Structure 1
Amino acid sequence: MALRTKTVEYRDPGGTALEGYVAWEECKGARLPGVLVAHTAIGPQEEFIRDKVHRLAAMGYVGFALDMFGAGHCVFGEEKDRFNDYLKEDRMRIRSRAVAAFDALKAQAVVDDAQCTAIGYCLGGKVVLDLARSGAEGLRGVASFHGILDSPTLQDSPPLKAKVLAMHGNLDPFVTPTMLQDFIAEMEGKGADYQLVVYGGCYHAFTRPDKTSPQDRSLGFFYSPEADRRSWRLMSDFLAEAFAPT
């Protein structure tokens, strides 16, 4: 089957133009399950994210890389700090942009809008967890790879209907022990169907093959081929379960 790709423009509730990247393998007459992919602090144009979208397409899903920035390109340095700080200061904006992307995914003609999930990396882990916290209609599950697990303090906090998979490195300096315990308490308090998988000896960004230098490790980033392989396999099983008939 041929791989099909396209870009999709959509907007958040404030009118900001955002651009999704979609990939799927053409299957005549069939609508496919959709998987939203939330990017790292660099942006959706990164090859790392597009590779995940293509791999999901090869698995029989429609992959949709969402856009949290609206920059039109990858961001680095001061520009990266500016875009990320902008989101950190407004957790409701994270939620609203995640929901806008989820709606754009469900609106694709090739997507079965009753069969949709989301995965995310680093910043994207926080994004998909906040999408689950939003109670988005039709969201079957979310998977976070070395995501930021801090819980928002928003007034509305609906029950978590989506299944949750959080994959975490025990040496990740961006998730404090208190943050981890608060996440567990939140999941338990909401009666969530959740899994928390901790990879021993692993840092933040354990799925990124480009993070292998001593400097990366000193900053808390380091690749683990074992955790990368195991977490993708676990996510694959999680998606199969999320899409199974209820």
Structure 2
Amino acid sequence: MSFVDYQAHDIACEAYVARPAGAGPHPAVLIAPTVRGPTPLEHAKADALAADGYLAIVLDHYGKDQRDLGDRAMGLMNALLADRALLRRRLLAHLAFAQGLEGVDRERIAIIGYCFGGLCALDLARTGTDAIRGAVSIHGIFPPPELGPQPPIAAKLLVLHGWDDPLATPDSVLGLARELTDAVADWQLHAYGHTVHGFTNPEAAVSGRVLYNEDADRRANQALSAFLAEALA
């Protein structure tokens, strides 16, 4: 496990890289963090994926000089939500960094993301790139980027969603389904009842809004494992 400096378009970043045993090349999984940026939770997920044989890379949304964000995190995220073209450029730069990382199988790359990172995973797929085989949104948010006509989406898509998530209402889920269908994407949705935002985070504890759900977390991990095995076969 190591930290690696890289450039993501306009910012200097630091990725956490967890490597599996052996020389590789290995299938790679990019991990897009929540609004808070990279934390020990994403690092632990990267370590778990490495144990399963993937080279896992935790991306850096805001730059290596932006840590311990506290209340500043929402402002940094909202700035990117207001400039989806900038977010797209950074995501493509993250991908280019991963493609050039030693030990990565360039033909077998996927991205997963949590909360804001779920939108990032979808947005990378929305570019139409064929450089990723799969993208997974985990309690993500769904607004489309509105950057012109949507090209066909080449990556397989998995959406793991808490049905009672106040940040991604049923209407927005249906909107995403229509969007992905129109983009001729290979997509699937797993919705967990009685489940709100942040259900994979054991530290989430805001009743009715952001709350850990052990059953949904377990089921989501099972679905994620099966999806990655298929997409990166």
Instruction: Give the alignment's TM-score, normalised by structure 1.
Output: 0.91
How many residue pairs align between the two structures?
Answer: 232
Tell me whether 1:6 sits opposite 2:2 in the alignment: yes
Out of 9, 17, 21, which is 1:22 matched to?
Answer: 17
Shift of 1:155: 1.2
Aligned amino acid, residue 14 of structure 2: E
- Whether 1:179 aligns to 2:172 is yes
Mapping for residues 126-145 of structure 1, pairs under 5 Å:
126-145=119-138
| 3-state SS in 1 of match to 2:210 | coil
What is the one-letter code of the residue matched to 2:51?
A: A
- For residues 151 and 186 of structure 2, the distance between their equivalents in structure 1, rounded to whole angstroms, comes to 14
Alpha-carbon deviation of 1:156? 4.5
CA distance in 2, matches of 1:128, 1:147: 9
Secondary structure of 2:105 counterpart = strand
Does structure 1 conserve the Cα–Cα contact (< 8 Å) formed by 2:25 and 2:105? yes
Cα offset, 1:174, TM superposition? 0.3
Give the gaps of 5 or more residues in structure 2.
Answer: none
CA distance in 2, matches of 1:36, 1:12: 14
Residue deviations 1:166-222 (CA, integer Å, cap 9, x gap): 01101100012321111010011111100011100000001011123xxx014x111
Q: How much identity, in percent, do the aligned residues show?
A: 37
Paired with 2:67 and 2:81, the residues of 1 have a C-alpha distance of: 20
Match of residue 220 from structure 2: 231
Aligned residue for 1:182, secondary structure, equals: helix
SS of 2:207's partner is: helix
| CA distance in structure 2 between the partners assigned to 1:137 and 1:191 by the alignment | 14
Structure 1: runs of 5+ lacking an equivalent:
none
Q: Is the 8 A contact 1:151 1:182 kept in 2?
A: no
Q: Distance in 1 between matches of 2:169 and 2:182?
A: 20
Q: Deviations over 1:61-97 (max 9, x none)?
A: 00000111114413111x1122112111111122111
Equivalent residues of 1:19, 1:72 under 8 A apart: no
Instruction: State the partner residue of 2:50.
Output: 57
TM normalised by structure 2 equals 0.96
Q: Distance in 2 between matches of 1:111 and 1:72?
A: 27
For the aligned residue pairs, the C-alpha RMSD in angstroms reads: 1.2
Q: Is the 8 A contact 1:31 1:110 kept in 2?
A: yes
Asked if the contact 1:99–1:136 (Cα under 8 Å) also holds between the matched residues in 2, the reply is no
Whole-Å separation in 2 of the counterparts to 1:110 and 1:190: 32
User: Which of the numbers 69, 75, 93 marks the counterpart of 1:75?
Assistant: 69
- 1:1-246 alignment, distance < 5 Å: 5-13=1-9, 15-28=10-23, 30-44=24-38, 46-70=39-63, 71-77=65-71, 79-212=72-205, 216-218=206-208, 220-244=209-233
8 Å CA contact retained: 2:195, 2:213: yes
Aligned-partner SS, 1:7: strand
What residue identity is the alignment partner of 1:208? N
Alpha-carbon separation, structure 2, partners of 1:62 and 1:167: 22
* Contact 2:163-2:169 within 8 A present in 1 as well: no
Distance 1:74 1:228 in 2: 25
Rounded Cα–Cα distance in structure 1 between residues aligned with 2:68 and 2:222: 28
Equivalent position SS for 1:138: coil
Structure 1 residue 157: deviation in Å? 2.1
